[in-house]
Chains A and B, each alone.
Chain A
Amino acid sequence: MNISYNWLKDLIDTDMTADDVAAQLTRVGLAVEGIHPHHDDYVLDIDLTSNRPDCLSHLGVAREITAITNSQLRITNDKGQSLKTEGQTLVTIQDTDLCNRFTARIIRNVKIGPSPQWLVDRLEAIGERPINNVADITNFVMHEHGQPMHSFDLDRLSGGRIIVRKATAGEKITTLDEVERELDATMLAICDVEKPVAICGVIGGLDSSITDSTVNVLLEVAYFKRENIRATSRKLGLATEASYRFERGVDIENIIAASDRATQLICELAGGEADDFVDVYSNKFVANAVTSADISESVKRLTGLSVETGECVRILNALGITASDDNKSFTFPSWRHDIAIEEDLVEEVARHAGYENITNELPPAYGAGEYQRSEPRKKRLRETLADMGFDEAITYSFIDTRHDGVFENVPELLDEQVEDKYITLQDSVIDGALRMRPSILPGLLDAVRLNLNFQRRDLKLFEIGKVFAAHAGEDNLPNEREILTIGVTGGEISEGKAVIVRELDLYDAKGALEAALDAVGVSNADFTAAEVKHLRIGQTAAVWVDGSRVGYIGRLSDEIAAGYKFKQPVYVAEVDLQAILDIATIPIAYRPLSKYPAITRDVSLLGDRNVSFSAIRDAVTEQNFELCRKVSFVDVYEGKGLQENERSITIRLEYRSDERTLIEDEVEALHKEILAHLEQKLAIKPRF
C-alpha cells in the first residue's frame, strides 16, 4: 500500500525524515518495501500483514507513528452533528446482520468539476487517478480515514431513497466499470425503490453515478459484514479498494468522522450545501476488553523483554487500547479487529519496545535429540544408491489422470473395499494433474524422458516418497505409504570416460535393489518370476521379504515404452519401503571361523532354459547335507552348441566340515548324490 510522507505530516507533528519513518515503521511490523520520490513528496510502499486493515489509511499509519514518537494525532473525531435517525424514510436496512451501520447524507447544489491541485497531488502521489471533485474527495477520505464511501446522484435514485437488501437471484446491475453483473441471493445490494444501484462494499452502479450534470449528491458511508463482502467479491471475481478494506474490517465508529470530512470537503471544493443526514446504526459496536493481571510480567513471560507497566500502558494507549485505572483491564478500539487476548497486547508492546531488544538465548538443556526411527536406515539406503551411480529425484505428488490403471501399484496400497481407489484433487494448477500419485513411476519416467531429450541416455534414478490411495477406514483418511522407486536405462558410466562400459540390463536394476534392501538390513529378499501389467513378460520379478510381497522389478513393457518414445530398454522397480522398514532387521549372529579347508566343485548343468537358478539352489539345499555349505552361481551359457530350449548353468558347491579336513572320496560321493538328485528332480545333468 502506498502512503504519502507529506500527507502523514498533515496528520502528525514529526521531525522524522521519510527514511526515518520507513525504518521505524518497518521496525514495528509495517514493512516498508520501498521509498519512491514524487515531486516534493516521498511515497512509502508498505507491505501490510492481513491482520492490520486499520493501517490501510494514512490515519492508521499515523497512529502507529504516534506510538513510536509519543506524539498526538492532529485529527479529532468531531461527533457534534445532529443525527436524524428517528422517523426518517431515506434509508431502510432489511438485513441488519449484514449491514451493521449505514449513513446517508444529502449534499445539494454541487458543481462537478476538476479537483484543486493539492488534492490531485495527494492522489497522484499514491498512484490514484483523479476523476472529478466529488469522486476524488471520497477517494481521498478513504485513503485518509480508511473508510470506503460512495456518492450517488440523488436525482437518479428512483423514489429518492435507499433500501439495503439481499439481491434477488438473477437481478442485474451495470457497475461503474461498465460491466453488467448478475447477482445472487446471498449478495447484499444498495437499492432504490426499483433496482440495485450498488453492490454493497464492492462497487457502485453506473446509472446512479456522479456525472458532470449531477447537482444533488447522496453520500453513503457504511459498515458491512466482512465475510459477506469477501464472499461477494470472490463470487463476482471483482476485488476493489472498497472490498479489500471491508472484507478485512473497517472502523465502524469512525463512519461519522469520515462522512463529516467528506461532506466538509465537498461543500468547500464543489460548492455544495449539507442537508439531511441519516445514521442507521442497529448493530452497535461493543468494545471488548481483556484483563491482564500484570501486563509487564506477561510481556516478560512471553518475550523476555523488561518493559515497565507505565511504558506498556503508554504504548497501548497510543494505539487506542485504553487501560483501566488499575492497569488490569484493557479495552480495544473499534478499529482493531485483530486484538482479543492478552497475548495480542503483549505483541503490541513487544513490537514497539522492539524485537531487536530481545536477547538471544538458548532454552535450558533438555533431553537428547533423535532422528526419526527409520531415518538412519533411509540415509544408508540413499547413500548406497548414490554410491552405485543413482541420482535422487523428487517429482510432483500429483500426476495426470491418464496414468490411471496403467501401472500396477505396490501390494495392498489400493483398498479393494472402496469404489474410487484413487485420491483426486478438486482442481490443480498443472494441467490434468488431478491424481495424488499411487505410484512414483509416472513421475520418474517423465524425468527419464526429459533427460533423454537432453541427450542423457545413461540414467540411474531413484525416488523415495509417499504414494496415496483411498481407504475405507473410520475417518476415511487416505492411505499414505512411503515407497522406493528406481529406474535404470542406457549404459554403465565410468567417471571421466566418454563411452559407456557396457549396456545395463535387468541384473543392474536388481543388483541396485538388492544393495538398497541390504542397506536397510534386509539381506534375504526373494525374487520370483511374475507377471506385472506394465512390465515385459519374462523379464519381471515379484520381490518378497519374509514371505510378504513388497513390490516388483522388471523391464518396462514395449507398449508403455513406446508411449514414452523410449528407444532403449528401461528397467524399473517399485517397493513398499514402509513395509520393508517395518521388518525387524536380523541381529548379527557370529559364526566361529572354520579351521579346516573347503573343497569346491564347479559343475555345468545342462537342462531346460526355464529351470531357474533358485530352483537348482533350493534343490541342493533342501537335501540338508551338513557338509555342503554353499551353492553359488558362476555363469550361464546358451546358444551355439546347445539346443534352442537348453541352457547350461554353472554352479559352485562348497564342501566343508567344522571338525576335520574332508577327504576327496567322501566329497566325491556326496557331490554325486547331489547331482543325481538334481537330475532326478529338475532333469538337469552335468554337461561335461
Chain B
Amino acid sequence: MSEERARVEAVMTAFLNEFAPYAGLNLSGASLDDVESKLREVAELKIRHTGKKSPISGAMNLVGKVAPNERAGFGQFVQSVQKDIAAKIDRVEKTLNEIITNAKIESERLDVTLPGRRPRTGHLHPITILRQKIEDIFVSMGYAIEDDREIETDHYNFDALNIPEGHPARESQDTFYTTQGFALRSQTSTVQIRAMERRGVPIRIIAPGKVFRRDTPDMTHVPMFHQIEGLCVDKGITMAHLKGTVTEWLKRLFGEDTVTRFRPSYFPFTEPSAEFDFSCFKCHGTGKFESDRCRPCKGSGWIELGGSGMVHPNVLRAVGVDPTVYSGFAFGFGLERMTALMYSIDDIRHMFENDVRFLEQFK
C-alpha cells in the first residue's frame, strides 16, 4: 500500500505547491480588484482540486489496489487528505470573501452626522402661537372665541363702552379715524358689545384681534397690535370670579406656582376696575435670575399685564342687559407686550417687520 500512499501524498504535495501562493496570503494594502482576482484564482483552484475530476478524487480509485485489510485505513487516509485540501481552500476563500465584504461595508460607510433630508419647515408668527395657546386654555374653560369688525362706528368703539363724547380717550390723538369718520377699533372691547348683541347673556367669550392706537412706532410702541379681551356675564358674577379666572388661565400658561395681584385702577367700561400683574414666569417672583436682576420683571418679581374690572352698568344697559339682574367681569391685555416679555424681545417693532431671522426662532 505504500506505493498508493505515496501517490496520494504526491497529489497533496502537488496541491500544496499550487496552493502555496495563497496559503500565507498577505493582502494588506491590496485593492478590492486584487482581492477579487485572487478569489477567482482560488475558485479555479477549488474546481481543479476538489471536483470529481480532481487528482484526489482520482486517488479514490486506488482503494481497490490496496490489500483488503488495509482498505479501510487507506480510504480514511484519502478522505482526510481530500478534506484537508477542501478545508485549506475554503479557509482562503472565506478569508477573501470576508475581506471583500468588509471592504464593501467600509466603502459604503455613511457619515451619520450629515443633515437628514427634509424640506425646511416654516414657522407660525409668535402672535399666532400665543393666541392659539390662550384660545385653547379658554375654550377648555368653557369660553367661546369671538371676533368682529376692525373698523368701527363711534357707537361700538366708544359710546356703548361708556366713553362719552368729550372723554379724553376719544380724542383723535389716541384713535385713528377714517375720512368717513369711522374709528379703527382701539380695543377689542368692541367685540363685547357685538357679541352680547348677538348672543345675549349669560355669555363667556374671549375676543382676540387687531387693535390700533396712534402711537408712533418705537422700541416699545407700535400703532397696531393684538389684544385679547375676556368677558363673562351671568347672574351672581363677582370680582372673585374675575380674580379666579385670570389666575387660572395664567397658571395654565405659566405654571401652577403663578400668583396674581390686582390693583385698583380706572377704565371707563368697568367699575370697580383693576389692573392685574402676575408673578414673573422667569424668576418666579423673586426678582432675581441666576443672581442677576431678572429681566422680564425688571427685578420687581411682578409683570404688569392688563386691565380688568366689573362690567360698567352703562355697558350692560347699552346692550339691553339689566345690571340689577346680571353682573359680569371683563379683562384685556396685549399680546405683543406679553410676547416681548416672554422672549426678552427688546424692540417690539420686530413683530411686524417679518424678518425671517426673527420668525424662525418661534416654534
Contact = CB atoms under 8 A, between A and B. Distances in A.
A294 interface: no
B153 A389 contact: no
B352 A495 contact: no
Interface string A41-53: 0000000011110
Interface string B109-137: 00000011111111111011000100100
Contacts of B241: 304, 361-363
A610 B294 CA distance: 66
Interface in A45-87: 49-52
B122 A387 contact: yes
Contacts of B62: none
Interface string A343-380: 11011001100011011111111111111100100010
A394 B240 contact: no
A395 B352 contact: yes
A386 B119 contact: no
B123 A391 contact: yes
| B-side interface size class | 35 or more
Interface in B38-72: none
Chain B contact residues: over half helix, strand or loop, or mixed?
mixed
Interface in B123-157: 123-125, 127-128, 132, 135, 138-147, 149-151, 153
Given A363-B234, A385-B122, A450 B355 contact: yes
A665 B273 CA distance: 84
A356 B259 CA distance: 12
A230 B237 CA distance: 38
A619 to B, nearest CB: 35
Given A50-B266, A369-B144, A424-B178, A362 B244 contact: yes
Contacts of A31: 263, 265
B232 interface: yes
Nearest to A426: B177
Nearest to B152: A477
B265 A29 contact: yes
A451 B356 contact: yes
Interface string B180-214: 10101000000000000000001010000010101
Contacts of A375: 135, 145
A388 B144 CA distance: 30
Contact of B178 (A389, A396, A436, A496): A436
Interface stretch (B1-9, B14-22, B95-103, B216-224): B216-224
Contacts of A300: 238
Contacts of A425: 176-179, 184
A350 B272 contact: yes
Nearest to B239: A303
B243 A359 contact: yes
A397 B212 contact: yes
B262 interface: yes
A493 B151 contact: no
A460 B122 contact: yes
Contact of B232 (A363, A390, A497): A363
A28 interface: yes
B132, B234, B310, B356 interface centre (most CB from chain A within 10 Å): B356
Interface in B234-260: 234, 236-241, 243-245, 247-248, 260
Contacts of A475: 153
A343 B272 contact: yes
A495 B116 CA distance: 8
B262 A494 contact: no
Given A351-B272, A388-B119, A392-B122, A369 B138 contact: yes
A385 B215 CA distance: 33
Contacts of B243: 355, 358-361
Candidate in A28, A303, A350 with the most chain B CB atoms within 10 angstroms: A303
Interface residues of A, number: 94
Nearest to B266: A49
A426 B212 CA distance: 14
B265 A49 contact: yes
B227 to A, nearest CB: 14
Given A303-B272, A393-B359, A395-B354, A426 B264 contact: no
A358 B272 CA distance: 13
Contacts of B150: 397, 466, 468, 480
Contacts of B274: 355
B168 interface: yes
Given A362-B241, A363-B237, A391-B123, A429 B217 contact: yes
A29 B215 CA distance: 26
A383 B128 CA distance: 11
Nearest to A234: B171
Contact of B239 (A350, A382, A454): A350
B264 A351 contact: yes
A672 interface: no
Contacts of B356: 391, 451, 456, 459, 461
A369 B166 CA distance: 38
Contact of A494 (B120, B138, B171, B216): B120
A495 B114 CA distance: 11
A645 interface: no
B284 interface: no
Nearest to A368: B142
B265 to A, nearest CB: 6
A426 B172 contact: yes
A430 interface: yes
A386 B123 contact: yes
Interface in B254-313: 260-266, 271-274, 310, 312-313
A47 to B, nearest CB: 10
A493 B204 CA distance: 45
13 contacts: A29-B265, A359-B244, A362-B248, A394-B351, A396-B224, A423-B182, A429-B223, A436-B178, A447-B353, A460-B122, A461-B356, A478-B178, A494-B120
Closest 8 CB pairs of A and B: A29-B264, A496-B115, A304-B240, A347-B272, A369-B139, A49-B266, A447-B354, A351-B264
Given A234-B171, A397-B150, 20 more contacts: A304-B240, A361-B244, A363-B244, A364-B236, A369-B143, A372-B147, A386-B123, A386-B124, A388-B122, A392-B123, A393-B354, A395-B354, A424-B178, A425-B184, A426-B177, A451-B354, A465-B210, A468-B150, A477-B151, A494-B120
